[in-house]
Amino acid sequence: MSERGGRDYNEDACGHWHSERYLCCVLADGAGGHGGGDVASKLAVSHVLQGYAARPAHHPQLLEALLLDTNRELLAQRAANPQLRNMHSTVVVLSIDLQERHALWGHCGDSRFYAFRDGKMQQRTRDHSLVQSLMDAGLLDEAGARNHPKRSELYSALGTQGSDLQISVSQTPWPLAGREALMLCTDGLWEWVPDGEIATALATAPDPQAWLNDLGERVRLAAVDAPRHDNYTALALWLGAD
């Protein structure tokens, strides 16, 4: 699911690649003037998928290296085109070894990965953002974060130079041992749909597309008084127990 929301154009992008053994899902949310956000998100998705297809990055160091290389590509494109000098993008990547049945993920910015097992949330990435740091310090709860005036202020995104870049990668494989529902999404979705509502929608959904359709409807209802609300994009994957 990828919708424009209340914006003039969609700066989100997503995609996936798989072989017989490996699956890679990636999602990005771009920003930057003169169409730079649209370019940045598409560049991030295509570079991750091309790099993963050439060498499946199903190892923490390989996944981190792939994201660092994607950042270098974004910086190179910025340097080559003055109109794109302000472009940057969040990114979240999910890697699955279908043979060994375990998952790894990595991200930069505030696009998220969620993992539910038997309907209960087991994993969720932590944003590289101001409000996440306030929540970690106990100064803000989830409801307060959604209304914070600086909720969109990121500490890191692709297109960042040097030591200011923050990339987080899961360090141990997560076994896919039960009934898993996995989702990657941009902040245009989770900003309007709390984690509890994501789980509620999952509980009544017969399939992953129905889950996303429900979440999209929840975004539209919650944002009815915000006609300029952000693009929202999500990619969902369900795995059975057998």
Cβ-Cβ contacts under 8 Å for 82 (sequence gap 6 or more): none
At residue 209, the 3 state secondary structure works out as helix
User: pLDDT tens digits for the chain (242 residues)?
Assistant: 999 999 988 999 999 999 999 999 999 999 986 679 999 999 999 999 999 999 999 999 999 999 999 999 999 999 999 999 999 999 999 999 999 999 999 999 999 999 999 999 999 999 998 888 888 888 888 777 777 877 778 999 999 998 999 999 999 999 998 899 999 999 999 999 999 999 999 999 999 999 999 999 999 999 999 999 999 999 999 998 65
For residue 115, tell me if it sits in a domain.
yes
Identify the pLDDT of residue 66: 98
Number of compact structural domains in the chain: 1
Residue 2 covered by a domain: no
Q: Nearest CA to 98 among 199, 205, 25? A: 25
pLDDT score recorded for residue 241: 61
- Which pLDDT score, from 0 to 100, does residue 147 have? 74
Q: Is 55 part of any domain?
A: yes
pLDDT score for 242:
55
Q: Quick check: pTM over 0.85?
A: yes
Q: Residue 238's pLDDT is what? A: 96
Name the residue type at position 50: Q
Pick the closest to residue 183 from 202, 169, 158 (CA basis): 202
Does the residue 30 lie in any domain? yes
Q: Let me know if residue 3 belongs to a domain.
A: no
Q: Within 10 A of 78 (CB to CB), how many other CB atoms are there?
A: 21
Q: Quote the tokens at residue 75.
A: 């910086």
**Could you give the CA distance from residue 195 to residue 218 in angstroms, rounded to a whole number?**
12
Domain assignment present for residue 242? The answer is no
1 in any annotated domain? no
Q: Which domain holds residue 116?
A: 10-236
| Distance (Å, whole) CA 55 – CA 208 | 28
**Residue type present at position 239:** L
Beta strands in the chain (DSSP E): 2-3, 12-18, 22-31, 88-97, 102-108, 112-117, 120-124, 168-169, 174-175, 180-185, 232-239
What is residue 112's three-state secondary structure?
A: strand
Structure tokens at 62: 């390989």
Task: Please report, for the domain that includes residue 116, its CATH number.
Answer: 3.60.40.10
* 95: nearest Cα among 55, 122, 133: 55
pLDDT for 178 equals 84
The C-alpha atoms of residue 232 and residue 6 are separated, in whole angstroms, by 10
